[in-house]
Amino acid sequence: MAESDDEYVQDISDEDIEAHQVTRGAGAGSRVTGQGSRGAGWEVTRTWENVVEGADGTISSTVEGLLEAGKRKRLLKDTTPLQRGIIRHLLLVLDLSNAMSDKDLRPTRYLLTLRYTINFITEFFEQNPISQLGIIGTRDGLALTISSLSGNPNDHISNIQKLHEQEPKGQPSLQNALDMARAALFHAPTHTTREVLILFGSLLSSDPGDIHATISALVSSHITVTIIGLAAQVAICLTLATRTNPSLPPSQTYNVALNEIHYRDLLMRATTPPTTPHSTTERSGVESSLLMMGFPSRIVDPSPTLCACHSRPTRGGYLCSRCSSKVCSLPTQCPACGLTLILSTHLARSYHHLFPLRNWREVTWARANESGQKVCFGCQAPFPERPASLRRQSTSGAQNHVRMSLATPRSQPHPPKAVHTSTASKDGVSESGRYECENCGRFFCIDCDVFAHEVVHNCPGCQSREGILTSGTGKGVGQTEVVVEEMTGETAS
């Protein structure tokens, strides 16, 4: 279930890109066919047919609907809680060869890659705060370390910025880069992921030996390789991606960027922690373990004292919670006792991956009338009134007011398929402009819907309703279940 759901997310983003991609739509038809939700591939580009005059003779209502659909489409993600590899070790391999000076991506592939890489680094550490990232470049048939594996985004960014002064040249070598990546990931602990992400602009790889041997070595050391191509699909890349990710379809591991936006999307997709397949224990040696970590508090001394990590005199710092030695920055390992020291905020940043907010469902006019909520609970903005033209049809709307959105995972008595073909909503847009949280039954506007799912990852209604706190006061272990239930969206006892 997990994998098929995951693939669905992928489909959405692809389709999203197709919507932008007018001229190449036919060429990329193979991507579109088989997704099936919008008909044949060539139809996708005929966007003008979606624009229909409204009752008042303007197209403003349709345009608004399309805007809302665009906002909403991104939201209908799978909200099933999945196991994800949250502690990651990722090596980013940059192609710095001649091919990167092409200008098919503006301004050049090279400059765009550098720019996106900087964004990627920031976003990566935003999403994976306790992960490690390293950067390797390949040019002149060689692999070179640009930035070694570390958890500090600023180091990486400054190293990338140094690349601006250099020119791409020579041929890339996949094998050398992969060997270097493998060596760098050799020490990664078993409970973390080992990933390589290659941004590859060339159509060839000039290697000193047999790259297939390298691929086999990667497979045996459980390193997964994902590739973003910039020019065209290359056979060896496909082999590499499929062999190192046997459980994933190639569409998730090897993609060729169609344009700048697509490139960015592909790159940013890699910032989300990868899902761990459920048969995780036998696969790839990823073992879960319990880590002991310290959450030190920050102190400021009145006079400078030496820190344990650099032996430099500093005033501010963090005291190890086990041995009270002072370190300058977090996350780190205590130099004295070896305890992993981390800010709890680092850990907490990943929780929304683990406890995703469920999708809210669309509200029909019948349901909206029944409930009588007049303003968005989140932002107090008034909802649109029911248009007079629709009042007559209220009976037809009443029967499907329990329509669910796409990806609501469990506890669904109603079959989502039949329900989704109803005329009242298309692309997950609510006809009444209201979206309802199934847990607390509050209505929200589209802006709050997008904001709550993309940024806050909290439901304003669920967090502020009666009884959310009483269920948890003063209980013991059993209380965790309550919390988990809250987060996964079951109604609390």
Q: Which long-range contacts (CB under 8 A, 24 or more apart) does 99-106 make?
A: 99/168, 99/172, 99/201, 99/202, 99/203, 99/230, 99/231, 100/168, 100/201, 100/202, 100/230, 101/167, 101/168, 102/201, 102/230, 102/231, 104/230, 104/231, 105/230, 105/257, 105/259, 105/260, 105/263, 106/260
Can you tell me which of 115, 243, 426, 465 binds other proteins, judged by CB under 8 A? 465
Can you tell me which of 67, 204, 217, 418 binds other proteins, judged by CB under 8 A? 67
Angstrom distance (rounded) from CA 435 to CA 465: 17
Contact map string, positions 313 to 332, toward other proteins, x by CB under 8 A: -----x--xx----------
Under rule CB under 8 A, residue 1 binds other proteins: no
Q: How far is the CB of 139 from other proteins (least distance, A)?
A: 29
Can you tell me which of 101, 144, 250, 295 binds other proteins, judged by CB under 8 A? 295
The sheet with strand 88-95 has its strands ordered as 142-150, 132-139, 88-95, 193-200, 224-229, 254-256
The answer to whether 358 and 438 are in contact (CB under 8 A) is: yes
Span 85-114, contacts to other proteins by CB under 8 A: 86-87
Contact map string, positions 174 to 203, toward other proteins, x by CB under 8 A: -----------------xx-----------
Q: How far is the CB of 18 from other proteins (least distance, A)?
A: 12
Task: Give just the sign of the alpha carbon dihedral 47, 49, 50, 54.
Answer: positive
Can you tell me which of 62, 108, 148, 458 binds other proteins, judged by CB under 8 A? 458
Can you tell me which of 11, 472, 485, 492 binds other proteins, judged by CB under 8 A? 472
Can you tell me which of 390, 468, 485, 490 binds other proteins, judged by CB under 8 A? 468
> Cis before residue 460, ω within 30 degrees of 0?
no
Can you tell me which of 222, 243, 269, 420 binds other proteins, judged by CB under 8 A? 269
Phi, psi dihedrals of residue 291, rounded to the nearest 5°: -105, 140
Q: How far is the CB of 295 from other proteins (least distance, A)?
A: 5
Span 238-267, contacts to other proteins by CB under 8 A: 261, 264-265
| Among 143-151, 242-250, 359-367, 378-386, the segment contacting other proteins (CB under 8 A) | 378-386
Span 4-63, contacts to other proteins by CB under 8 A: 13, 16
> Cis before residue 331, ω within 30 degrees of 0?
yes
Of 232 and 300, the one with the shorter C-beta distance to other proteins is 300
